[in-house]
Amino acid sequence: MRALDIAGTGMQAQQNNVETISNNIANMSTTGYKRSRAEFQDLIYQNMRRVGTASSDTGTIVPAGAQIGLGVKTAAIYRINEQGTLEQTSNTLDFAVQGRGYFQVQLPSGQLAYTRDGTFSMANDGSLVTADGYQISPTITIPNNAQSVSVDQSGQVSVTIAGQNTSQIVGQLQLAIFTNENGLAAMGQNLFTQTQASGDAMIGTPNTTGYGSTMQGYVENSNVNVVTEITDLITAQRAYEMNSKVITSADEMMQTLTNLGR
């Protein structure tokens, strides 16, 4: 009985849906997190009577065939890359991107990764690093005698040195954008790596055409809407229950057939 297998694919699909939603809810407080959404496709069809075939020797055509679907599969899990709200922290080394763009991070392997999480710190040599100690790219080093650090919307990093009346430029933040942001591969730790699907990173200066601006003293909150996620969770749970009910009904039908043979 096909209904058992079909309903089984439905339960598996809704399980993936619930796992996606639960990951969104778990990361509702993760800086720069972008919520995900599961997308589904129907599986192949079995033709009981193929549409468009001849139904007689006179050339009459079957206008609507008989096809039985074999279930559903998870086609993709998309990230919704809409802007999260900006929260003021007043921390000098907290930066948020308002608009398009990712900060570049140098991994220990030498590979570049990309992040929307701008909660940076200073390493023992004064360089700006992530919470895991990975240096941002290009490297920016704050002098140990700097009294204050300021970053404008164009990503220019300036410091005030003790005994000097004018500020000194020590670096320039750069942003990376991609043709297809959904093509980036998530690697955890709020980091992404580029793939063939994302296309190569296009590096530019913040607050120029096509690139977002940098906001010092702010962080970007996740774009998870808890009300939406809970509503989607309830819908997915009900769909899972309905598929399980199909399995129960199919089992009862098979039990009836078994009883007829006794």
- For the chain (262 residues), the mean pLDDT of every run of 10, in chain order, is 90 96 96 95 86 78 83 94 94 95 95 95 93 94 90 94 85 96 94 95 95 96 96 96 93 86 66
Residues sharing a CB contact under 8 Å with residue 2, sequence separation 6 or more, in sequence order: 46, 68, 70
Q: Which pair of structure tokens corresponds to residue 68?
A: 């039985």
The pLDDT assigned to 261 comes to 65
Secondary structure class of 213 (helix, strand, coil): strand
The pLDDT assigned to 165 comes to 78
What global pTM score does this model have? Answer: 0.86
Crossing angle of the two packed helices 226-260 and 2-26, in degrees rounded to 10: 160
Phi and psi at residue 242, to the nearest 5°: -65, -40
**CA 159 to CA 12: how far, in whole Å?**
55
Ranges of each domain in the chain: 2-81+224-260, 86-220
Residue 23: CA count within 13 A, CB half-sphere: 16
The pLDDT assigned to 227 comes to 96
